[in-house]
Every structure is written in C-alpha cells, then in structure tokens.
C-alpha cells in the first residue's frame, strides 16, 4: 500500500478480526505502517493474536488491490478523521483507549472548541428540564460546546437546549450516522447535522449493537475537560461514563438531588465517592471561566502541527 498513513490505518481498521488495542500497539513500533505489507502470516498471527487462517486472510486483505481501491474511494468520499490527522481531537489522544478513526457529519470545527459533556438518566424526573435550564445557560453563554450521546432523556434535552439557544453541540453515536436510533430522534439528529456535529467511530452504515454504547461512552467523556451529570440511576450507562471520565483524569460535576429519587441514586453515590457537587450556577461559571483561560494558554503554547 503506497497511500498515506492515514488511509493505511483506515484500511486495516476495516479488517474486523483485529482488536483496536493491538492495532494501537503495532503503531508504536511501525507508526508509518510501512512494514505491514512485508509481514508473513506467522508474524501477523503473533502480532495481532489471530488464528493462522485469519492471519492468511489478513495478508490477502492487505494485498488485495481491488479492495484497496474500493476503500480508498470510500476514504476520499467520507473524509474520516484518523488519529494521525491534525483535525483529530487533542483530548482523545490522552485517554486509555483512543478511537483510531472518527466518522463525522456537520461542523467539524467544533472539535477544536472548549467542551463539556452532559449526560444523565434516560428516564428523567419531572424537574430534569429545570436543571438543564439552570446549568446549561452559562455553558451556552460561554461558547462551550455541549457533548452528549443522543439518547433519550438528559442527552436529548441537552442537545435540544443547545440548538434552541444558538449554542454548540456534538452528538457521539454508538452506531453509524446513516442509522437512526432511537427513531424518534431523527428530526433532532438532522438538526445536529446542520447546526452541530455528529461523530462516531463506527462506519456510517453500521447498525446499533448493545456493546457499542458502553464503548462510545469513553469518547463522550474523553472529548471534554469535564463531565456534568444531571440525574443517574445507580446501575446505568451514565455511571459507566462517569467511571471512564474519572479514569481519564477528568473533572466530574454532579447535581445533587433527593435521597428518595431513583434517578438520584447514582449521583449520590458519585458524590459520596468524591465527585464535585454542583449546587448553584456560579460554581459552574467559575469553572468555565478558568477552563477557558487554561485551554487558551495551552493552545498558545502548543499550536497544532499539521501532518500529511
């Protein structure tokens, strides 16, 4: 393969038998992906923990000119962002398991903005929208982008708030962006295509799978400097994302609530474990101001380097 290393990475990611973690490990000693086409099935079997028949299939895939041409046309048409590209979000490079490729539709420039992730219950309480209105107002006013997952409840409320108030929002999907899930969110997703950004590590036609959603949660938390949690049951996807945010070294803000509210049990547990309580809007305003200043300083000291 003589194409760019971005395309080479995109191409080998299409071979579904190889784990993302093993591709990332391989990149550490062949970052230009120049040696891959010279490896034998036996070597590939060891490097990528494949069965021998899978390794032989991988060799065929690597050297299949028809397949390469097909995927190269798709690569040019979709213009995915790989971890090699200057458009790749800097924040994701430092999480334990960064996505190697991101497919996107909308305003790609939002990846370079200040961001906060907002997540919570899919079955929110009657007071959930009041909390959204209270805490997302300063987020929008500070031009901070709201990142969420387009799920029922708090996720969709957060996207809707951003759009309604001329804010910025990114939806991170657990499926390809040509799919709609839940179907009810089709109008919202189309609005985000036009006014915000939709991203996914899954190809556009990839259908939702239940294990994709916990996987994508690391991207929701990883994109932002902090995660804001508005209602969460003790056993929920929100708690998975909160754990990932903490593992990534991100700030986790939690809106406290009644001990009698089922949607508050996860929040109370996080507060008990040391997450930052968000009592009033001024606490968030102070963080937004400080974070904006810190990111501005980092950007001035570490300008992006464009790679070919």
Residues 143-154: pLDDT tens digits?
A: 999 999 999 999
Nearest-5° Cα angle at 87, 82 to 92: 70
What pLDDT is stored for residue 155 in this prediction?
98
**CB-side exposure of 245: number of CA atoms within 13 Å?**
28
Cis check: omega of the bond before 101, within 30 degrees of 0: no
Sign of CA dihedral 57, 58, 61, 62: negative
Helix runs in the chain, H state only: 5-13, 20-29, 41-48, 52-63, 65-78, 128-141, 154-164, 186-195, 212-222, 237-247, 265-272, 281-301
pLDDT in tens, 117-145: 999 999 999 999 999 999 999 999 999 99
Residues 245 and 96 sit within 8 Å (Cβ to Cβ): no
Spatial contact of 287 and 252, defined as CB atoms under 8 Å apart: no
The DSSP annotation for 111-167 comes to GGS-EEEEEE-SS--TTHHHHHHHHHHHHHHTTPEEEE---TTHHHHHHHHHHHTT-
**Per-residue pLDDT at 117:** 98
Instruction: State pLDDT tens for residues 189-205.
Output: 999 999 999 999 999 99
C-beta of residue 11 within 8 angstroms of C-beta of residue 68: yes
Domain positions in the chain are 5-78, 101-299
User: Quick one: pLDDT at residue 163?
Assistant: 98
What percentage of the chain exceeds 70 in pLDDT?
94
Structure confidence at residue 95 as a pLDDT band (50, 70, 90): very high
pLDDT in tens, 253-265: 999 999 999 999 9
Residue 141 main-chain phi, psi, to 5 deg: -65, -25
Residue 308 has what pLDDT?
30
Contact 139, 133 (CB under 8 A): no
29-52 pLDDT per residue, tens? 899 999 999 999 999 999 999 999
Q: Please report the pLDDT score of residue 292 as a whole number.
A: 75
Q: What is the pTM of this model?
A: 0.92
* DSSP secondary structure of 147-160: EE---TTHHHHHHH
What is the pLDDT at residue 15? 95
pLDDT in tens, 236-251: 999 999 999 999 999 9
Whether residue 302 has pLDDT greater than 60? no
Round the average pLDDT of the chain to a whole number and report it: 93
Section 301-305 average pLDDT = 49
pLDDT band at 306 (very low <50, low <70, confident <90, very high): very low
Round to whole Å and give the CA distance between 16 and 12: 9
Helix/strand/coil for 174: coil
User: Is pLDDT of 172 > 70?
Assistant: yes
Distance CA(141)–CA(133), nearest Å, equals 12
> Are 266 and 234 in contact, with CB atoms under 8 Å apart?
yes
101-299 CATH: 3.40.50.450
């Amino acid at each position: 393969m003589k194409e760019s290393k971005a395309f080479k990475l995109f191409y080998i990611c299409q071979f579904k038998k190889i784990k993302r973690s093993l591709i990332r490990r391989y990149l550490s000693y062949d970052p230009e992906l120049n040696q891959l086409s010279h490896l034998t099935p036996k070597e590939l079997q060891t490097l990528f923990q494949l069965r021998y028949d899978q390794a032989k299939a991988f060799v065929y895939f690597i050297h299949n000119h028809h397949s390469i041409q097909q995927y190269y046309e798709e690569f040019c048409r979709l213009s995915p962002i790989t971890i090699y590209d200057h458009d790749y979000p800097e924040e994701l490079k430092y999480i334990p398991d960064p996505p190697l490729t991101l497919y996107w539709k909308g305003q790609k420039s939002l990846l370079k903005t200040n961001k906060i992730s907002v997540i919570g219950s899919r079955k929110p309480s009657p007071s959930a929208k009041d909390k959204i209105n209270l805490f997302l107002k300063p987020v929008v006013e500070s031009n901070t982008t709201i990142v969420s997952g387009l799920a029922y409840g708090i996720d969709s409320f957060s996207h809707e708030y951003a759009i309604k108030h001329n804010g910025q929002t990114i939806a991170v999907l657990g499926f390809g962006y040509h799919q709609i899930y839940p179907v009810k969110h089709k109008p919202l997703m189309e609005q985000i295509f036009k006014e915000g950004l939709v991203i996914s590590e899954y190809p556009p036609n990839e259908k939702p799978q239940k294990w994709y959603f916990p996987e994508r949660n690391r991207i929701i938390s990883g994109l932002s400097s902090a995660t804001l949690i508005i209602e969460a049951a003790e056993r929920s996807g929100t708690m998975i994302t909160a754990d990932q945010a903490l593992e990534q070294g991100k700030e986790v803000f939690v809106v406290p609530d009644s001990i009698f509210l089922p949607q508050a049990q996860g929040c109370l547990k996080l507060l008990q474990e040391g997450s930052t309580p968000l009592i009033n809007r001024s606490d968030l305003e102070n963080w937004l101001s400080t974070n904006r200043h810190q990111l501005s300083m980092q950007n001035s000291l570490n300008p992006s380097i464009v790679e070919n």
